[in-house]
Amino acid sequence: MNNEQYLVVVSGPSGSGKDTVVSRLMAQHPEIEISVSATTRDKRPGEAEGVNYYYLTVPAFEQKIADGEILEYTRYCGNYYGTPKSEVDRRIAAHTTVILVIEVVGATNIKRLYPGATTIFIQPPSYAELEERLRGRGTESEQAIQSRLARAAEEMSYATDYDEVVVNDDVDRCADEIYRLIR
Ligand code: ADP
Ligand code: 5GP
């Protein structure tokens, strides 16, 4: 059996609801695990080391790249984000479904490395709703919101490259749809 089938990649513009939907999915299906990425961005209020991310300095992140410990990485709105190898390989070898919530460049790289992975793009119902959610979350400065909205327009054009596209109009409905796609 091909272990790559246990790998699921979820992308979507910032504010589309990826973290909310994936958290709901995992609450309902505890057998599914999430890959914790490394990042150089600041910790948001409520986030915790090793839960949301591994928070690294730029030199520490670059050292991990040099040491071959990062499966894929990119720069997003001025910060590094990357998937540690250790988050993925041991899980798919154990036939545990693991979800990577990563942006479009990382998703393309993972699909190249693991063609058997399932890639899912979460779309907001509209661009206006995306902006409303991003502002409503209240976690970013105005400058960061503008940067994420500008990136969102580009990210949306990648949707057709994914195996599946789901619209996050309702958290439960969207989580159910993703579960049906990956189970
Ligand atoms: P992402 O992880 O894609 O950046 P989040 O999961 O942080 O997005 O969601 C952005 C904001 O939108 C959060 O405040 C979240 O509560 C809200 N949200 C997510 N999904 C929905 C939905 N289906 N309807 C309304 N609000 C939503
Ligand atoms: P945020 O700062 O909102 O947590 O994340 C910003 C973007 O980086 C999101 O689109 C998120 O999915 C993406 N991201 C998080 N971790 C990784 C990763 O390990 N690799 C890549 N390529 N993108 C990531």
Q: How far is the CA of 101 from the centre of ligand 2 (A)?
A: 7
Q: How far is the CA of 2 from the centre of ligand 2 (A)?
A: 26
Q: Positive or negative, the Cα torsion across 72, 134, 140, 30?
A: negative
Query: Quick one: pLDDT at residue 2?
Result: 77
Q: What is the CATH number of the domain that holds 96?
A: 3.40.50.300
Task: Determine whether the shortest distance from the Cβ of 133 to ligand 1 is under 6 A.
Answer: yes
Query: Quick one: pLDDT at residue 59?
Result: 98
The pTM score is 0.95
- Domain tally, the chain: 1
Whether 22 and 171 have beta carbons less than 8 Å apart is answered as no
Mean pLDDT of each 10-residue bin along the chain, 183 residues long: 89 95 97 98 94 97 98 96 96 96 96 97 96 92 93 94 98 98 93
Task: Determine whether the shortest distance from the Cβ of 76 to ligand 2 is under 6 A.
Answer: yes
Q: At what angle do helices 142-156 and 127-137 cross, to 10 degrees?
A: 150
By residue range, what is the domain housing residue 170? Answer: 4-182
Encoded amino acid at 74, one letter = T
